[in-house]
Chain A
């Protein structure tokens, strides 16, 4: 499998150059179907979705509404090749994976600007309400050539409504469901000749749930959150248009023995300047902040009480220049800066990052059937080595309904503040974690105070540079469309190196370890994605997606082939040598995953029913037999499972609709291994448009 794929990838440059030289006189322009469907984040320009040379998913407003989703995570995990995974680093303990890469490595954007607030590396996707979303765009594979750091595995862009109605209109909706779910939405918008506005308001609350009553507290504690997103438009002239958006988010959770609060805020200003027919300039100013606060109080042990704070700020100006002489040629040049700061109680002091960047992208048709996009971005950073992130992609229409596309791109994720600046000693257990920049002085200090029993890393090897984690992604897809049938098969491979992990620096006299961060592992993920749909039946649409995934640590593979890895017989507990066939791969990765959707739409469009099934095969959580990798003899495997969601929508009048639905209708639960699964949730949703 891996051999075959490598061969294909090797052919990439050859394909590109071969097709590039071809002169096609009598070819037809790729057929423009579904003119409505456009994608913005793939090129940072409005592009027709069906012609885009990158692996991408588009989720439209109607699909979001029909699914009954309230939070971004709910709608994402139903998409082809995106799977929901238990993730213990975020509050809700649910994360996602794209092509085997977790959401730590995926940039989350609203209207093209990044959201911040990754408390422990991951972004909590339940922070985003979906009711005002026009579409969600997912671009798979490294995208740092446009978006810089964090876009190592891909990006998710949320597009809010841009075209505003001339007459005041809006929507009021309310969803009430099991576990005390109450989700209320209010939105309205209007545009005069020059001035327009839209306002979105969401309130969400839940009582949480408890899967294991014998443990104190609930599995998920009750919480409430509010989202307020106003947007203003002003057209100074036909040529100069101004947009100003704000977002304010507040969440409060009553956690066991304490209280937890999260806030985020942004202001996003954009001026579109049409200098001439061919030249357009976008001036963007983005400023955002994220605060979280947690307080734990123990009445029996007041000394163990603790407060955690996390205050992050980002200021980001950017200018993008587009030169667009003809419809099929677009040159974009952009540059900007990031000024970032983080104040956290686990840091000695407030820390700051500065970075400047520039990027260039050329999107053109070397021949009428061939679209090519080449781009590169350069990031210069105050704390780590500069990054150059190139990307090349192409799409070639062999026939009108038969096309191939491929891309090679690079991505990176900068070391985060925690990995650089953390200086933390656990007060109850007594271990210490040191960020890279404070590693040497931290160990020195412990040594001077006679706190160290022994050093595992020589003192002169401490400190030094932590490199950005970086990836190279390859995608190659074949798409075929006939009548109402569409299918796309994509082969992918992502090579990721310099993954940052903790290592033990020293042992303290209390027996606990001193941990530091280090670039350690090289991994890869590869596989096949199949995505098909059939719209041939009168009222029923059927779609099917499947992903085959292999993901391994390269160093572990080489240790195994050298015959240095042993496992333990689960019965006798004695060691034996293992081979490659026994290595299951990285934790939390399923070999197979699939999603099936069936939807029914009555001919008068008044009744809609859908059924969505999401499956993932077995996976392992962690090593249990001491060899530091997942082999077939480990005992932490979680059996494969399916989640089934369904909803029924009935339009009661042109303005009023009623929806009944169920998430996880078969009530699948696994309290020990998947605490993010609450069990069956029924809901009712009323929606009024005006």
Chain B
């Protein structure tokens, strides 16, 4: 994960350069993109083993880059492999957080770097299911039943419209604590998300560079 420090620095520098070069000409303030890697977001769940899945979702605020307990100030929320979006209507699962925002989610194929602009087709959570579908191969992960291992599908970049209409891209890197390169599902604790993301705080801008 050493790379991420370098990347943060790189993004910071390029964003800073961008601001300097733009602000001179346009005379409007462009806010700096927030780019970082969030490590080990813990997303426990209850139930399972024949019982309905339950438990609080761990809520995340993309504008600050931190988890939050604020029932309204969140963009995406995690519980086990399920990811909720602050937009749309309840899916019907137990203990899901109330949605008060205008969030949406979609997947774009590519590398994190190659996704430079947010698309326009977003899904919202609804009684039909989550905007980010569950199940192996349907959404963000593949499940290996032999090894009982969850692996994020490489090349699937999650693009999110935040609760207040801003855009962000997220690449989920690992589902295991410490983001080991070769997770051992028997030994490594699961439901720990490590992801890198870029959040564009500028109103109306779909740029994700």
Q: Which residues of A contact B (CB under 8 A)?
A: 88, 427-430, 453-454, 456, 504, 507, 509-513, 564-568, 570-577, 622-628, 635
Contacts and interface: CB of A to CB of B under 8 A. Distances in A.
Interface string B101-134: 0000000011110000000000000001100011
A168 B1 CA distance: 77
B154 A627 contact: yes
Contact of A504 (B47, B137, B182): B137
Interface residues on B, range: 35 or more
Given A626-B151, A635-B182, 10 more contacts: A88-B146, A427-B50, A454-B134, A564-B109, A570-B181, A573-B194, A575-B157, A577-B111, A577-B155, A626-B142
Contacts of B50: 427-428, 430, 510
A127 B80 CA distance: 44
B134 A574 contact: no
B154 A575 contact: yes
23 contacts: A88-B146, A427-B50, A430-B49, A453-B92, A453-B134, A454-B128, A504-B136, A504-B137, A507-B134, A507-B135, A511-B80, A511-B82, A511-B134, A566-B156, A568-B154, A574-B171, A574-B173, A577-B155, A623-B144, A623-B151, A626-B142, A626-B151, A626-B154
B146 A574 contact: no
B63 to A, nearest CB: 23
B3 interface: yes
Nearest to A628: B142
A241 B197 CA distance: 80
A622 B136 CA distance: 15
B111 A627 contact: no
Contacts of A427: 50
Contacts, number: 116
B18 to A, nearest CB: 22
Contacts of B136: 504, 513
Classify the secondary structure of A's interface with B.
loop
B157 to A, nearest CB: 8
Nearest to B152: A626
Contacts of A565: 155
A522 B144 CA distance: 20
Given A430-B49, A454-B128, A575 B138 contact: no
Given A513-B135, A628-B142, A574 B49 contact: no
A446 to B, nearest CB: 13
List the 3 shortest-distance A-B pairs measured between CB atoms, nearest first: A566-B155, A626-B151, A566-B154
Given A513-B135, A623-B151, A573 B144 contact: no
A570 B183 CA distance: 11
Contacts of A628: 137, 142, 153
Contacts of B144: 622-624
B159 to A, nearest CB: 14
B153 A627 contact: yes
B149 interface: yes
A626 B48 CA distance: 23
B116 to A, nearest CB: 15
Contact of A635 (B141, B157, B171, B181): B181
Contacts of A625: 151, 154
Contacts of B156: 566, 575
Contacts of B146: 88, 622
B51 interface: yes
Contacts of A627: 142, 153-155
